[in-house]
Amino acid sequence: MKSATRVLVSTLGILMGIAGIEHGIGEILQGNVAPAGIMFPSWPDSAFFSIVGGEPAMTIIPNLLVTGVLAILISATFLVWATLFVRRQNGGLVLILLAIAMLVAGGGIFPPILGIIIGALGTRITAPLTWWRSHLSARPRHLLGAAWSWSFIACLMAWLLLFPGINLLGYFFGVSNPNLTVSLILFAFGSLLLTTLTGFAYDSERLPGDYLARSNNG
């Protein structure tokens, strides 16, 4: 039986890995030039990304071509690790380190920040969840766990509305509303918090007692 927390971490890890790769492509297309500063737009001349300010990113490397290549490699590694290896010992910590590398090597601002949060959640995949079992009785845990699938769907939809939803709305329908963007961000983080809590309840109820031992062994 899969951990609900692992499903959440892997799904959002895929999205953020793709987002980091997208930043890298934009940086490569700008060519073998130096960025204007530590902060710069990944897609400065793209109408599709204009609604999000050209997809801001940062780098400590004074070359956009090299930055873009590194952003793609690190983001792809983040995606693969979140999908296949995050349940291993220190798997969440590796995700955090990869997210930090994404941040300073052109993988965007928002994807690495969420990547750090995802990595922190990844450290809880093989946790014993004793707090949930000792502080919540069976019925509240069951009710929270039963809501996990619905909260997960809402969370996934919220993040897809942010990426690439906002870009699609702006490019094809001319929708550019800062209040809508703020509302979607709040909805995305709110649903992430709810899905995290319901996921912990789900795992504390349904995972067999020997799951942690098997997970820590790979």
The residue written with tokens 């062994």 in the block is 217
46-101 tens-digit pLDDT: 999 999 999 999 999 999 999 999 999 999 999 999 999 999 989 999 999 999 99
Residue 154 three-state SS? helix
What pLDDT does residue 149 have?
95
Binning pLDDT at 50, 70 and 90, where does residue 141 land?
A: confident
Q: Cis (ω within 30 of 0) for the bond into 164? A: yes
Closest by CA to 177, choosing from 166, 190, 162, is 166
The domain ranges of the chain are 4-216
Question: 65 and 31 in contact (C-beta within 8 Å)?
Answer: yes
Closest by CA to 159, choosing from 180, 185, 178, is 185
Residue 202 three-state SS? helix
Phi/psi for 57 (5° steps) reads -150, 175
The model's pTM is: 0.91
pLDDT surpassing 90 at residue 211: no
